[in-house]
């Protein structure tokens, strides 16, 4: 399959639609490679969910204490596998960022071994950064939920007051509008905070910075990315649940034939149906997780184009030799992909030279 060259990447500011369009086109071009990259952590999570399903359904029907202890231990192991699988997914997504950025800039092939080599090169830094990002996202969730909660309290008070002095339809309209406003404020707050750490893995591996330097750098890059990040999230969620709905149809049909009541919460599902549902859910994650890898890598390049003239830097890197490393001197003309703590530097492909026509300026 042909790969795009560096010249195929038009470094211009991307809107939300352009971002999703380019991510989908790159996804289609490298589908199976991206699935191989995303699969191992998801398989770990799937094994954990299967163990969790079996243990939680059998723990209340155990005949003796030894079996009860076994299922308790199984639940603990399952929890560790699920949590570890999700953390590994974030780490692998960070490792994939360097391979994807080098592909976007220089046309380097997207390969699973390249991604996992980048992960191995800075595994502990990626792990530390991932844990800090997860904690920050937890804080963002708390702040957004608290804001929605307080807005909801004032909304209820306003609706109760209006119901005493105004027609019912006025209270209904105010309630609906207030609910939409509370949801919008909560989402805006969450994505405002989450967007601040969206580029930590890219900075860590592409620019070779340390963990806290990467977080600080991500904060400085994240400006005006709320709408695009929100659009990317909503698109990925929609695509994930659409894929899940398509994959779940055969399982649901088999369950319906066997007289299973198909409910959302699945409290009455037999064990085999719950296991099948979890496996299919993880398969949908394998299919759609690469969208996040591509989207965040495109966002990172786009932010540098918007704020730092990254397109001009890349043009210089393609035409000029690598800057010499002088001790004690920090050049303002940093290379597009740094060396040092980052993985091996990838040189830009050679550019064809124009034919010499016999004149100094090459004019006819």
In whole angstroms, give the CA distance from residue 307 to residue 222: 10
CA 195 to chain centre: 11
What pLDDT does residue 139 have? 93
- Give whole-number Cα distances, 149 to 176, 177, 185, 331, in Å: 15, 15, 11, 49
pLDDT digit string, tens, across residues 267-305: 567 777 778 887 888 777 787 778 877 888 888 877 877
pLDDT at 181: 86
Among 185, 184, 158, residue whose Cα is nearest residue 173: 158
**pTM for this one?**
0.73
Q: Closest by alpha carbon to 199, among 304, 313, 307?
A: 304
* Signed CA dihedral, 96, 288, 20, 145: sign only: negative
Q: Which residues of the chain have pLDDT under 70?
A: 1-14, 261-268, 309-364
| pLDDT at res. 76 | 92
Q: Nearest to residue 90, comparing CAs of 232, 197, 8, 249?
A: 197
**Do 150 and 107 touch, CB atoms closer than 8 A?**
no
pLDDT at 8: 44
**pLDDT value for 347:** 47
Residue 245, CB-side half-sphere exposure with 13 Å CA sphere: 6
């Amino acid at each position: 399959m042909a790969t795009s060259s560096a010249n195929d990447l038009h470094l211009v500011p991307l809107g939300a639609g352009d971002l999703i369009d380019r991510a989908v086109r790159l996804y289609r071009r490298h589908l199976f490679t991206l699935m191989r990259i995303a699969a191992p952590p998801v398989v770990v999570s799937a094994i954990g969910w299967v163990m969790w399903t079996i243990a939680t359904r059998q723990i209340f029907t155990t005949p003796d204490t030894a079996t009860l202890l076994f299922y308790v231990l199984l639940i603990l192991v399952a929890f560790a596998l699920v949590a570890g699988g999700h953390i590994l997914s974030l780490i692998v997504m960070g490792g994939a960022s360097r391979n994807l950025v080098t592909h976007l800039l220089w046309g380097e092939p997207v390969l699973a071994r390249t991604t996992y080599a980048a992960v191995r090169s800075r595994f502990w830094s990626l792990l530390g950064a991932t844990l800090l990002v997860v904690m920050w996202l937890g804080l963002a969730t708390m702040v957004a939920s608290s804001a929605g909660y307080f807005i909801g309290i004032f909304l209820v008070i306003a609706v109760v007051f209006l119901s005493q002095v105004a027609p019912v339809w006025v209270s209904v309209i105010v309630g609906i509008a207030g609910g939409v406003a509370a949801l919008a404020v909560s989402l805006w707050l969450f994505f405002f905070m989450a967007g601040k750490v969206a580029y930590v893995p890219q900075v860590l591996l592409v620019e070779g910075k340390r963990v806290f330097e990467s977080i600080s750098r991500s904060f400085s890059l994240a400006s005006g990315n709320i709408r695009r990040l929100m659009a990317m999230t909503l698109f990925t969620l929609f695509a994930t649940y659409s894929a899940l709905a398509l994959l779940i149809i055969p399982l649901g049909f088999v369950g319906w034939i066997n007289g299973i009541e198909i409910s959302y919460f699945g409290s009455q599902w037999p064990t085999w149906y719950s296991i099948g549902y979890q496996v299919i859910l993880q398969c949908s994650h394998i299919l759609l997780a690469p969208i996040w890898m591509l989207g965040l890598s495109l966002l990172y390049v786009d932010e540098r184009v918007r704020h730092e003239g990254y397109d001009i830097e890349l043009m210089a890197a393609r035409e000029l030799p690598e800057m010499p490393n002088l001790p004690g001197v920090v050049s303002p003309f940093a290379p597009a992909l740094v060396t040092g703590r980052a993985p091996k530097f990838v040189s830009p492909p050679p550019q064809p030279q124009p034919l010499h026509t016999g004149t100094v300026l090459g004019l006819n």
